[in-house]
């Protein structure tokens, strides 16, 4: 039973750890499918986390915090759009710039406004998203096998966790079953064709970036208002890049993205759980190896040893109407 | 707007436009200072005084600049070949390993002028090898070099953390770093050069690596504009199709360019490791690789521009430290914002002001932009 409980707990923390990855990964999915590379997921998550926690603690409302997180994150996405769509700048350069501005400004503004060394005040109950206990979760907790699974794994997460997982079928539906999704995918493959059909490439790509901004905002809010009770400087700690890796790992598909994020989340949960305790057969695995594994796996995938990841064809290329 | 950009006079192209971009970046940064509730003009004065006001300040500025010259050159060499090496950070970090091996083995037997060349070779080699795999994957497998080099940054960080909290840490020590190097791996300081001009220096880490950086800047200029290899790299960077048509091997040119870039990134590690800290510590690169992106863009990928831009960023780092001291509300993270804004305006938005400047030039002197004086028939 101990082993079973350990497994359930690990899976539970897998879910918690993969939610920000999943949201950021889906965010990247919208922009990359529309042909805009977005290295700036990390930065947008960070400003989302900061704006969310700051607004929640000032206005004493979790929902206002979430709204502010989305707003600021979308604003940063629009800067990316302004540089890479309107001015046809290099998308990678613009993304790198956004990450820097985000990293610096969250600390500077946080310190200036709250004077807590770049942190925001600890969020009080009501300013964070609380865990939702599903009906009957406490009643069935003692039932063997099913009880813990229902009570720990399915019930007892915050609203944003369920939202993140609902975003997977929703994103799939948007991309593959709506006109907007069809056009969005088309603009990432062959913008000239979309242009010829009389649809504005720029506006379409801007809309894709708005979707990206919304999702990175939610991802940031999750970090600072669910996983942690407030903003801490550099709290994204490379999650935006892992999400990018997951996106490639998922070959730019929503359902795959969920599994990729769960896998990377699981690796993270496992490395926290093991913390130096030896595994059977393999022996002691260094924590650092587990942390590097998502990146190593992505490189191996990119090398074409496990399937081939083919990015959207027009990705990274600014669209220029005929000259 | 969809017309190809008309030519501006060279001085406007290489001088005026970067300056305008830089000015805009600083104006936006000034607004951030306002938002924090400080006076941006006073902040600017403190910054410049902190960097150039005293001898020690100048020495520190040049010390930081040394680091940024290497990373800027590294980014620029790859960029000339059309490759975005975002992995400078990781290549420099892992090069610390090469330096550690050389220094820890020889610092008790060899004098510094023998350890130094060995360490240069080791750092360049390790940096180049770390760039080799992403380069190979780009050339042979078509995996996007930006993504693979980002991944390699994280892998490098994991390896270095593992080594520095484990095998490389001396027994009984708590700090995640190697033991301190002995005199045989300490580089001589260059502070006497500034003292020649009459300034007094208390203690600053400016060291001989600065000269190495200048030599490398010259060699990069030679490579890019005066050798066949450099010509091939630029050709490939401009148009991979043309390069292929001209019989330039894609694989060879990508791998060579990335390895040179990685080697330059690796040499950056010499400056903080052997010149200042005298050990290899966790996170000793601390973002210098990313500053290299800003420096390369600001310097328009030309070694002279890069040296100037590196000094500018060195000034920001040194002056920023003074600023944090004078204005507690503005910590050194202000530099990170400025850096981001410079990358944004000098990099991603570099063409934003170009049409306006062209229009301005055209209205004053149409011939300077290669146009006839007829209105409405412009570029």
Report the mean per-residue pLDDT for chain B: 87
Which chain A residues are closer than 8 Å to B2 by Cβ?
320-323
Q: Rounded to an integer, what distance in angstroms lies between the CA atom of residue A59 and that of residue A51?
A: 12
Residue in this structure with the two tokens 């042979």, named with its chain if needed:
B140
Q: Do A289 and B147 touch (CB under 8 A)?
A: no
pLDDT over 70 for what percent of chain A? Answer: 95
Q: Is residue A321, in this structure, part of any structural domain at all?
A: no
From chain B residues 176-235, the ones with a CB under 8 A of any chain A CB are none
Looking up residue A138, the CATH number of its domain turns out to be 1.10.3470
H helix count then E strand count, chain B: 17, 0
What are chain B's domains?
45-327 (1.10.3470)
Retrieve residue B365's tokens. 């002197």
What does the pLDDT read at residue B75? Answer: 95
pLDDT tens digits for range B116-155: 999 999 999 999 999 999 999 988 887 788 889 988 999 9
Retrieve residue B197's tokens. 């001009």
SS3 of A283, please? strand
Domain count, chain A: 1
3-state secondary structure A303-315: CCCCCCCCCCCCC
Phi, psi of A312 (to 5 degrees): -50, 140
Q: Is the dihedral of CA A17, A19, A20, A24 positive or negative?
A: positive
Least confident of A16-25, B193-202, B262-271, B334-343: B193-202
Say how many CB pairs under 8 Å bridge A and B.
157
Report the mean per-residue pLDDT for chain A: 86
What does the pLDDT read at residue B314? Answer: 92
Retrieve residue B142's tokens. 């078509």
Q: Which among A89, A102, A108 is the nearest to B348, CB-wise?
A: A89
pLDDT at B310 over 90: yes
pLDDT tens digits for range A67-97: 999 999 999 999 999 999 988 888 888 998 9
What does the pLDDT read at residue B378? Answer: 44
What value of ipTM does the predicted structure carry?
0.87
SS3 of A132, please? strand
What does the pLDDT read at residue B170? Answer: 85
pLDDT at A310 over 80: no
SS3 of B21, please? helix
Q: Is residue A196, in this structure, part of any structural domain at all?
A: yes
pLDDT at B2 over 50: no
What does the pLDDT read at residue B6? Answer: 61
Q: Do A109 and B35 touch (CB under 8 A)?
A: yes
| pLDDT tier for residue A64 given thresholds of 50, 70 and 90 | very high
What does the pLDDT read at residue A26? Answer: 95
Q: Is residue A320, in this structure, part of any structural domain at all?
A: no
Residue A167's domain comprises 2-302
What does the pLDDT read at residue A51? Answer: 94
Note whether B1 contacts A: Cβ–Cβ < 8 A.
no
Write down the pTM of the prediction.
0.87
pLDDT over 90 for what percent of chain B? Answer: 42
| pLDDT tier for residue A272 given thresholds of 50, 70 and 90 | confident
What does the pLDDT read at residue A203? Answer: 93
Mean pLDDT of the A284-300 span:
82
pLDDT tens digits for range A185-222: 999 999 988 899 899 999 999 999 999 999 999 999 99
Q: Rounded to an integer, what distance in angstroms lies between the CA atom of residue A62 and that of residue A68?
A: 10
pLDDT at A281 over 70: no
> Roughly how many angstroms between the first and final C-alpha of chain B, as a whole number?
10
């Amino acid at each position: 039973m101990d082993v079973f409980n350990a497994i359930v707990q690990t899976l539970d923390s897998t879910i918690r750890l993969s939610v920000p990855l999943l949201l950021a990964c889906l965010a990247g999915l919208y922009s990359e499918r529309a042909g805009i590379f977005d290295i700036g997921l990390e930065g947008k998550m960070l400003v989302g986390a900061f704006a969310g926690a700051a607004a929640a603690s000032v206005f004493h409302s979790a929902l206002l915090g979430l709204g502010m997180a989305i707003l600021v994150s979308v604003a940063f996405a629009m800067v990316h759009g302004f540089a890479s769509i309107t001015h046809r700048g290099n998308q990678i350069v613009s993304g790198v710039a956004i990450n820097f501005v985000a990293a610096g400004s969250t600390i500077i503004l946080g310190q200036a406004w709250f004077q807590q060394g770049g942190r925001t005040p600890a969020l009080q109950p009501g300013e964070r998203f609380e865990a939702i206990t599903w009906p009957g979760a406490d009643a069935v907790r003692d039932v063997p096998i099913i009880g813990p699974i229902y009570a720990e794994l399915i019930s007892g997460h915050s609203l944003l966790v369920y939202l993140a997982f609902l975003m997977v079928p929703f994103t799939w539906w948007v991309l593959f079953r709506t006109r907007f999704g069809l056009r969005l995918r088309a603009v990432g493959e062959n913008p000239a064709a979309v242009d010829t059909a009389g649809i504005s490439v720029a506006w379409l790509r801007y809309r894709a970036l708005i979707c990206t901004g919304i999702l990175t905002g939610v991802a940031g809010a999750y970090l600072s208002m669910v996983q942690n009770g407030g903003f801490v400087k550099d709290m994204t700690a490379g999650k935006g890049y892992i999400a990018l890796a997951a996106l490639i790992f998922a070959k730019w598909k929503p359902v795959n993205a969920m599994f990729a994020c769960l896998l990377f989340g699981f690796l993270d949960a496992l490395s926290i759980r093991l913390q130096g305790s030896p595994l059977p057969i393999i022996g002691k695995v260094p924590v650092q190896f587990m942390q590097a594994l998502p990146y190593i796996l992505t490189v191996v995938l990119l090398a074409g040893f496990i399937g081939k990841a083919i990015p959207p064809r027009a990705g990274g290329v600014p669209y220029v109407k005929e000259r | 707007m969809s017309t190809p950009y008309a030519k501006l006079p060279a001085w406007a192209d290489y001088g005026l436009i970067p300056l305008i971009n830089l000015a805009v970046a600083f104006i936006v940064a000034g607004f951030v200072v306002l938002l924090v509730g400080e006076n941006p003009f006073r902040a600017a004065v403190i910054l410049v005084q902190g960097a150039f006001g005293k001898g020690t300040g100048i020495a520190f500025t040049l010390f930081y600049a040394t680091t940024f010259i290497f990373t800027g050159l590294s980014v620029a060499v790859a960029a000339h070949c059309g490759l975005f090496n975002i992995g400078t950070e990781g290549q420099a970090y892992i090069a610390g390993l090469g330096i550690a091996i050389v220094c820890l083995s020889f610092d008790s037997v060899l004098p510094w002028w023998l350890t130094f060349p060995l360490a240069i070779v080791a750092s360049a080699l390790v940096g180049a090898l770390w760039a080799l795999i992403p380069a190979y994957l780009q050339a042979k497998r078509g995996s996007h070099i930006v993504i693979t080099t980002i991944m390699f940054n994280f892998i490098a960080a994991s390896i270095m953390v593992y080594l520095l909290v484990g095998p490389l840490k001396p027994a009984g020590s708590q700090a995640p770093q190697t033991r301190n190097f002995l005199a045989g791996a300490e580089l001589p300081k260059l502070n006497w050069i500034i003292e020649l001009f009459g300034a007094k220096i208390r203690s600053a880490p400016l060291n001989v690596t600065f000269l190495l950086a200048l030599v490398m800047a010259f060699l990069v200029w030679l490579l890019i504009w005066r050798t066949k290899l450099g010509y091939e790299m630029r050709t490939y960077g401009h148009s991979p199709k043309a390069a292929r048509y001209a019989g330039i091997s894609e694989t060879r040119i990508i791998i060579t360019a990335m390895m040179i870039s990685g080697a330059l990134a690796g040499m950056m590690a010499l400056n903080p490791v052997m010149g200042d800290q005298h050990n290899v510590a966790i996170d000793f690169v601390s973002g210098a690789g990313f500053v290299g992106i800003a420096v390369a863009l600001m310097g328009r990928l030309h070694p002279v521009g890069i040296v100037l831009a590196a000094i500018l960023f060195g000034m920001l780092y040194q002056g920023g430290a003074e600023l944090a001291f004078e204005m507690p509300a503005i910590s050194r993270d202000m530099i990170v914002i400025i850096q981001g804004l410079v990358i944004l305006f000098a990099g991603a938005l570099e063409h934003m002001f170009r049409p306006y400047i062209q229009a301005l030039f055209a209205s004053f002197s149409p011939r300077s932009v290669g146009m006839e004086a007829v209105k409405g028939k412009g570029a």
